[in-house]
Amino acid sequence: MAVVLPARTDKGRSCRAKAFILQSESFYSCATCETASRQSKKPRIHDCRLNWEGLSKAMEADVCVDLVKSCEEKNAVVSVLVGDDDSSTTSKVRKNVEHEVEKWSDVVHAKRSFGSSLYSIKTQNRSLTDMNKDDEEGVQNGLKSIVPHAYGDHSSCGNWCGYLKNPASYKHTGLPCGKDLTDKSLRQSLGKIIEVYASNAKKLAPL
């Protein structure tokens, strides 16, 4: 499902999250139809929502393009797309409009991916758990390298960093499509969170 949200109300104030202009949904399966098919029966009369027969990966992009075009027909402009870091949707939308469309990362999705990335680093490098135990400076440096690492800056990474071992083939295990994060505002938010823990490295080192 995709929705179009107004950036501002007519009074210039930010809109409430519940308000939306348009909504579009695509479904590639229907439980009622699938059950009837398995039983070699004709489906009973039902409210079938099946409206997509292509690849599921292309469904999101198609829905977004449909919404953007619907807005243009109503003389409205979609200037920002908010979603995961899969570039295919943004690319397809930009090919179908004549105005500039900015891409923002979905904060919830990005934070979840960021967390998954941290866990994957720990799983792949068991020594990370104990390598900086009782080492205040090591803990602080390690924490401060986390956000830059996720954004493709490996200048402060340690020997746990897969990019330093093989730059040509490295991909993030826990980030969308294995690519670096790009959202600047998210980076600032993550940096502030990490800074809190880095400044308390002395308390964290013994853990």
One pLDDT digit (tens) per residue for the chain, 207 residues? 455 555 544 444 444 444 555 666 667 778 898 898 899 999 999 988 877 777 767 777 888 888 888 888 888 788 888 777 667 888 888 888 888 888 776 667 766 766 666 666 555 545 555 677 788 888 888 888 989 999 999 999 988 899 999 999 999 987 878 889 988 888 988 888 888 878 877 877 776
Determine the pLDDT at residue 8: 47
Q: Which residues contact 204 (CB under 8 A, 6 or more apart)?
A: 139, 197
Distant-in-sequence contacts of 55-58, Cβ < 8 A, 24+ apart: 56/28, 57/88, 58/88
Using alpha carbons, select from 175, 205, 149 the residue that is nearest to residue 87.
175
Domain spans of the chain, in order of start: 2-7+16-105, 107-203
pLDDT attached to residue 167: 93
As a whole number of Å, the end-to-end CA separation of the chain is: 43
Q: How far apart are CA 179 and CA 174, in angstroms?
A: 9
Q: Which helix (H) or strand (E) holds 92?
A: helix 87-95
pLDDT tens, position by position, 8-31? 444 444 444 445 556 666 677 788
CB 124 within 8 A of CB 162: yes
Q: What is the number of other CB atoms lying within 10 angstroms of the CB of residue 78?
A: 22
